[in-house]
Structure 1
C-alpha cells in the first residue's frame, strides 16, 4: 500500500536543485550507498571499530559469526562482545590507526559465542578516513574462518574493484532494454538511461535537473503521489500499469536510502508491455471466436460467429463470409434475425469475375490489399464500389475445409494496413478456423436436411378430411443430426360396427436409422391394428411386435385415441403407452389434463394398459404432443406441462391450427438454447 504523501521536508532533508554537474555528484553519492549496502550483505564478516575498539557497525555475517544481534554490538568494546579473542587484536587496530597502513591476512585463533571451539580466523584491517580528518577515524575489519575459505576477500580488493563494478553497472543501466531513472526527492531527474529517454522522446541530457512534471506532464499527476508514498515509507511499489502515448507500460518504484537512513533518491523501472497486452487481447479475441465456432452447428451459426466475433479476432472492422451456392456463384451471407433460420444472402460474385473474391477462390491464395490504390491498380473496375465504402484496406482469404476452397472470408479495415507477417498469420488463422467450422456445418446441414426429409416421409403428407372435425399438426426437427423418432397419424377405422377415426402420436427413443425403422414399424403396425381393434389392444399388439423382434432395442411412447362422432358431439377413447397426457381445451377456455395409466412400449416384458373416454362437445379441442414440447429448456428449467396448460387456457377461441401455432411460438420464445429434440403436435376440434 502506498503511504499518503506528506508535506515537503517531512520525508527527507530539503535538497538543493541540482544542475547536470551537481546531479552527477549526487548520483556518485548514491553509488556509495549502494556499495555500502553490498558490503553489509556480503557472505563474509565486516566490522568497523573506532579508535577505542568500540563497534561502530557490523554486517549480517559478522553478527552470525559472533553469535549476537547486530544491534548488540554497536557502542560496546570488542573484548566485551568477544572476550575469548586474543589481546593481539587491540595491538593490530592501534597500529592501523597510528600508521594509517593496513594489516593484511592476519591469522588469529579464538572462540566466539557462536563458535566456542576456537576456530582459526583470517582477517584484514584497513584504515577508514573522512574528508575532514587526516588520521584514520576507524578501522574496517574483514574476516572469515580459514577452513571455509583459503582466500578471504579483503576490503582493499573490494575497493580496488569498485570502479570496475560501477563501470559495469553504468554499461548495464545505459544499455538495458527497460527504462531506468533516478530522481531526487523533489522529483528531478538525476539520471536516466537511453531507453527511457527515447521513450520520453527527449535526449538524456534534456532530463537532468528537470522535474518529472516538466518531462511527462500527462503522467506526473498519477506518478507523483506514488513516489511520495515510496519516499515516506521506503516500501517499493511494483508492476503498476498505465497507458500513455497509445502504449501500455509497467512501472516499479524504489527508495534509495542515504547515510541517515532517510530516502536520498527514488529509482523508477519502466517496461513497455504494449506488445504483451496486445498479444493477450488478441488471444482472448481468438479464444472467443474459437468458442463461438465450437457452438456453431449450421452454416447460419458459422456466419453469425464470423459476423459477431470473427472481425474482432482478426483486428478488422468488418468480416464477411461467401460460400459457393447452387447457381455456382460466390454468395455472401449474413446472420438471420434470430440465428435459427438459414443465413440471409445479400451479394453474389461470379466465380469467373475479375474480382478479388473470385480470384482468391480460384487460386486458393489469399490477397492482401493494403489501400485503395492497391485495390484499383489490380481491379480498376471496382472504382465505383470503392468510392461508396468507408473501407480502406482488405484481406481476402480462401476457406479450406477438406482440401478445397469451400468459400472465402473477407476482412475490411477503415484505415490502410501494412499487413505485416504477424498480421497475415492472424488473418489466415482466423480463416482456417472458419473454414473448418464451415465444412463441418455444411456436412451437418446435409445430414440434417436428409434426416428431416426422411423423417417427413414417415409422417402423413396431409391430414385427412374428417366430417365435423378440424385437424392441424406440426413437426419441428431439432438441431441434433440424425432422424428423430416423433410421428403422428390420423386414419379411419375399418370395422363397420365401430365407425370412427384413429388419432395417434408417438416418440421412438433415440435418433438415426434404427429409430427411423422403429418409427415406420410403429406407424404401420398401428394403422393395421388400431383400424380394427380398440386403442389399448392395438398398443398391446405393438408392444409384442417390439419385444418379439430381436433386432429392435428401442422403446416407444404412444398415445392412441378412437374418435367416434355422435349426434351431440363425439367420444374420444384414449390409451397411452407411457406418453404425456392429452389436454382437452373446452369451448369455455378451461383445460383438462387427461391422464391414462400405461408404460412405455418395448421397455419391459409385461405391461398393463388402461383406456379412458372423454366426451367432447362443439368447440372443444384436444391437443396431443410429444415430450419435445414439455422438455424444451429455458432459464427456469423445463417448459413443463403447467406452462402448456397456461398457453392453451390463455388462447382465444380459434382453430386447431391457431392452437398449434401458439404452442410452437411459446416453446420457441421460452428456449434459451437451440432445440435439441424433435417435437410433434396434433390438435383436433369439434366444429359440428
Structure 2
C-alpha cells in the first residue's frame, strides 16, 4: 500500500484495519480521510467488507475546498475592512488617520507600509511603519517622480501593476531602516473627496512571496476606505480651522481698564455646546486722547449661529460708524437703515454708552434702543435705573431714543445686561424668572467690588438660578470708576485689548 497510494491514504488504511474499540456503537466504522493527489484534493470514505477488507471511495473535493477557502478569506477580508473603517472613521485627525492606515497595512497587507500625503512645497509628508512596529512621521525632501507610479498615484491616477515596478529602482528614503532587500512593491492611490488624499506604498521583503493580483485588488479596496477617511479628516480640519478663525472675530472681547475707566464683561451662550450667539458687547477706545470710549451691548433676535452672523454684521457696521460715536441717535438711525436694507429680517436691541474720565469721576452718556435700562450702583449700595428709552433697531423705519448722562464717583459702577439675565427661569420650582428685582438685590450686595468681581457675581447667581435648565444668551458689561488708589501712575491710563 505504501508504494501504491499517497501516504495519507496508506496511514488511514492502516488505522482502518486496526480492531475497533469494543465500546463503540454498533455500525461504527473507520473515519474518513482527506488529502491531496497531485494538484487535486480528495475525501476518502472507507467501507469495511464482511471478509475484513476495506474499500475506499475517493471523492474529488477540490472545488469545494477552494470555495470554502475563498469564503473564509472573503470573510476575513470583510472583517478586516470593517475593522479598518471603524478605526479610521473614529478619528477626524489627519495625522492619526495616516498612522492607522500605515499600521494596519503593514500588519495585514505587507511587511512594511508607507502613507504619503500630497507634497507641501518641496517636501513629502510620509508615515512609515514596519510589521509589528509603530508608525513614524517624517518629511522627505524628494520628488514623487523618483518612484515609478508614485507621482501618478498622488494625482489620483489608476495604480501601476506591481510587476511593472522594479524593486531595485526604489530610492533609499522609501525603504525603512533595517528592512533589508525589497522583493516587490505595490503603489496605489488613496482616493479622496474630489482631491486625492495621497498614496499607499506596500513593501515585501525578498524572502516573502510577491504580491498577487488578488492581493493588489484587495489593497486598492483598503486604500479606497483609508483615502475616504483621510480626506474627511482633512476637510474637517480645514473647516475647523476656518470656523475657529471666524469664531475669534465673533467672540466677545476681553475687557480691561483703558483711559482711566475700568471695564469687565461676561457672556454665556444659550447652548453649552456653542461658543457664540445673539448677545454681544464691544468697547471701542477713543481715537483721540481725552475723548470718550464707546461701549456697546446688544441682543439680536434669535439664538445660535444665525443670530451670531447677524451679530457680526451689526458689530462691523457700528465699527464703521465710530467717527460719529458722539451722536448716539445718528449711529442708531444709520444702523437701523443698514439692517432694514438687508435680506435678514432679524432685529436687535442695544444700549450705547460713551465713557470718559473726568478727574476722579467717570462721565457716562447712555442711550437705550429697546434694551433693558442700565443700572447704576452707588458707593452706599443704592441701585438706580438709568431712565433711557428707545425703539429697537432693524424693525421700524425710524428710530427714537433718549440719551441720559450719568456720573460715576470712585468705586461706583454701571451695569449693562441683556434680558437673558432677568428672564432666566429656574429657582426652587424651576419656573420662576430671575427678575429685575432680584438682579438689583444682587447688585446692591456688590458695593465696593471691582468690575470683574461684579460680573462674576451676577453670572454665578444667574447660572445657579437656572441650574441645568434652558436659558437665553446672557451678557453682562460693567463700567466702573476705579478707586483713586487703583489708578496707574501714568495719568490713570492702562492698555486693554478690545475688538477694533
Considering Cα pairs closer than 8 Å and 6+ residues apart, tell me whether 1 or 2 has the greater RCO. 2
Shorter-chain-normalised TM-score: which range?
0.3 to 0.5
| Structure index of larger Rg | 1
TM-score (structure 2 length as normaliser) = 0.46
